[in-house]
Amino acid sequence: MFSETTGSVLSSIGNISADIFGVLGVIILLVALGLTRGKKILLVVLLSLYPTALVTHFFPFYGGVPFLTGTIPLTFEPLILFILALVASIFIIKNYIETTYQIHSFWRIVEIISLSVTVVGLGIAILYHSVGVDNLYNFSIILNSFFSSATALWLWFVAPLASISLFVRR
């Protein structure tokens, strides 16, 4: 009986796609980063995703930069712009976010987990809609259902703001 249950659990885990494990791995890394460095870095990355989405989505010069179009395929331009805009936004916004460091408490863990999940969710939603990363990689059905629709994008834009207002304490 125990071996049948173990076999069914292992077969269920085997059916989960690798990109789900990748997303969970990134969330775990962000939780570890938040626990060691504090919630400020997660808040900075989260708030940096908003201007990055605007810059990436409304950038008027795709295919127009002559030294990039010869060396980089046009499908990678939005991804490169996303990374550059995110780094620039982080460097600008980090000077304006100030938080206190809470010593080991349950609420601190809830804050960090909620911020990590919303950072990853918003980042993937922006990558889906502004960068078009689904053209570069074939994601699983589960991730497509969570991130590909316009409603999902809107919900992922609202979820971090709700998470900050509900869970993050100064």
Q: Is 146 left (phi over 0), alpha (psi -120 to 50) or beta?
A: alpha
Q: Can you read off the two tokens belonging to residue 71?
A: 């060396």
Amino acid at 33: L
Residues sharing a CB contact under 8 Å with residue 72, sequence separation 6 or more, in sequence order: 80
Q: Is residue 77 assigned to a domain?
A: yes
Q: Is residue 13 assigned to a domain?
A: no
Mean pLDDT, rounded, of the chain: 81
pLDDT tens-place string over residues 84-139: 999 999 999 998 887 766 666 788 888 889 999 999 999 999 988 888 887 778 88
Q: Can you read off the two tokens belonging to residue 101?
A: 């460091």
Q: Is residue 5 assigned to a domain?
A: no
Chain centroid, CA 149 distance in Å? 16
Q: Is residue 39 assigned to a domain?
A: yes
CA dihedral 77, 83, 85, 91 (to 10 degrees): -160
Asked if residue 58 has pLDDT above 70, the reply is: yes
Domain count, the chain: 1
Q: Is residue 30 assigned to a domain?
A: yes
Asked if residue 38 has pLDDT above 60, the reply is: yes
What was the pLDDT predicted at 33?
92
What's the CA gap between 146 and 23, in Å, rounded? 12
Q: Is residue 148 assigned to a domain?
A: yes
Backbone angles phi, psi at 117, to 5 degrees: -65, -40
**Structural domain boundaries enclosing 134:** 19-167
pTM over 0.85: no
Q: Is residue 153 assigned to a domain?
A: yes
Q: Is residue 53 assigned to a domain?
A: yes
DSSP secondary structure letter of residue 134: G
Nearest to 46 by CA among 149, 159, 169, 132: 159
Percent of the chain with pLDDT over 90: 28
